[in-house]
Amino acid sequence: MIKQLMEKIDKTKAPICVGLDPMLSYIPEHVTRKSFEQFGETLEGAADAIWQFNREIIDCVYDLIPSVKPQIAMYEQFGLEGLKVYKKTVDYCHGKGLLVIGDAKRGDIGSTSAAYATGHLGKVQVGSKVYSGFDTDFLTVNPYLGTDGVKPFVDVCRKEDKGLFVLVKTSNPSSGEFQDQLIEGRPLYELVAEKVVQWGDEAMDGDYSDVGAVVGATYPEMSRVLRKLMPHTYFLVPGYGAQGGTAEDLKYCFNADGFGAVVNSSRGIIAAYKKEAYQRFGPEHFGDASRQAVKDMVEDINRVR
Amino acid sequence: MIKQLMEKIDKTKAPICVGLDPMLSYIPEHVTRKSFEQFGETLEGAADAIWQFNREIIDCVYDLIPSVKPQIAMYEQFGLEGLKVYKKTVDYCHGKGLLVIGDAKRGDIGSTSAAYATGHLGKVQVGSKVYSGFDTDFLTVNPYLGTDGVKPFVDVCRKEDKGLFVLVKTSNPSSGEFQDQLIEGRPLYELVAEKVVQWGDEAMDGDYSDVGAVVGATYPEMSRVLRKLMPHTYFLVPGYGAQGGTAEDLKYCFNADGFGAVVNSSRGIIAAYKKEAYQRFGPEHFGDASRQAVKDMVEDINRVR
């Protein structure tokens, strides 16, 4: 699967994913109003507004990018109606030729992780038939439970040619609280990185492994070390843009081959029309603002790649 | 919320929760057959079988217990159809007077954790209206991202009188890989425990905090230390029964007041009819087997409480 992502990155020259993390507050009033007129101020109405918003953005950017990263929490907050739109968004993106990174940060004990892996990446057996649940191409995974919590995800990746990004060093302010704690002189995230390399050895797909790592853009010195520790691991890099990470901060995430990292931006793209730089588009043309923001992001990142 | 759980534990004399973690392989053939006859070998058929199975078990045990713990992964593996049954199960349990611990192990950066907290414990604003997503009473939370990933859950608990169980020391074989790593001579799980106490200080509800901890039954020596470190923290204890934990292993989880722990059993209760001890009930009466298994579990645990 990572090979497919690299091919799409190569073709678009865009080592990025667009974070489809809609908040109602990001959605222009004319979109929300129309959905509420049709469905009322209900969960269905909110879900419809999110769907209309996502679809317009996808239509405006899909030819420029290799992948999207919907954050499932933003859908889960609306319960079942929200999750229906998550699924609809995944399917719509696939129809547009995009790879989908499900940002779900799942992780549990063995048999439970196996169920998550089945639901998000694999196929579930029902009598003599098999079905896909959410059918994303990649999934983010939390490593706190150790190898037996991660291995079931790796197994499904090998079987179905899918991919993972395991949390190593996250982009948030308090990520260091546990992740940076020193164990025999080395931070915990380096230990996690070593395990990610081990897990990934079994799932090589060309020069890189289908088991990738989440490495925040907000901690560039750490990404430099992690890049060396994990030469064949693809990085999913959150934190660019709204969270404060700059292109300069990303340079260590890439390998000399220009590959090795896929950088996410969510708010900076999907709510671009609200930023001063793109206000000229106006809320009516929020999709065009997102398109311009993608172009600018790609240009910015390719400077350091 | 923890006070409500303690009152129900006191009334039932049962410091337990029943893990509603249905696998299709646990469901008696006559149940599955009927669902498949009605809906075919489809995701709807699987979901219906799970629903019929859950309902029968709940009907047979609800008066004996304070709480249930549905593991959302087991529903997520069937995609949207599975999640519909998760929601239906939560609502049905509420109707029977049970408290529901959503075992979802969510956790992310701040704004994303806020969305999960809203979807599972809180209320979401849609225009001038508010709605609940999954509306569970407690949620399990993963602490790997640190304070800013956990605080949004605590905030919703305070606002809505709900509760959390934060992963501290999990019950699985490789939990030690990261959780037991020594930081200045003390294992990581003790550091997490100290943070749980800090987070919980803001959310006291009587003698205990609404911010609890997951502490596996399979590591009794560790639970002894953790009990001392966290005197006002309620423990959710997985690992009893099928995972190998015994009543003897649980004794340190309880405080001298007889409270402080709620012990989970999933397979041991819901698939009891498959165990030699309960085979006399037969698959037709799987609910009665579960009822007897609950009685035996409660008796077993109360010996050490």
Task: Give the ipTM.
Answer: 0.97
Give contacts of A80 with chain B, Cβ < 8 Å.
80, 83-84, 87, 133
Q: Is 3.30.70.1520 the CATH classification of the domain at B107-265?
A: no
What dotted CATH number matches A2-302? 3.20.20.70
Tally the C-alpha atoms within 13 A of residue A224's C-alpha that lie toward its C-beta. 6
How many angstroms separate the CA of residue A11 from the nearest CA in chain B? 31
How many angstroms separate the CA of residue A44 from the nearest CA in chain B? 10
Asked if A181 lies within 8 A of B188 by C-beta distance, the reply is: yes
B211, B164 Cβ separation under 8 angstroms = yes
pLDDT at A197 (0 to 100): 98
Convert the pLDDT of each residue in B76-131 to its tens digit.
999 999 999 999 999 999 999 999 999 999 999 999 999 999 999 999 999 999 99
Convert the pLDDT of each residue in A73-104 to its tens digit.
999 999 999 999 999 999 999 999 999 999 99
pLDDT at A242 (0 to 100): 76
- The mean-pLDDT minimum among A189-193, A240-244, B43-47 falls in A240-244
Give contacts of A113 with chain B, Cβ < 8 Å.
73
**Which residues of chain B are under the pLDDT cut of 50?**
none
* Residue A168 clears pLDDT 90, i.e. is over it: yes
Task: State both tokens at A164.
Answer: 């993972």
Give contacts of A178 with chain B, Cβ < 8 Å.
143-144, 146, 188, 191-192
B291, B64 Cβ separation under 8 angstroms = yes
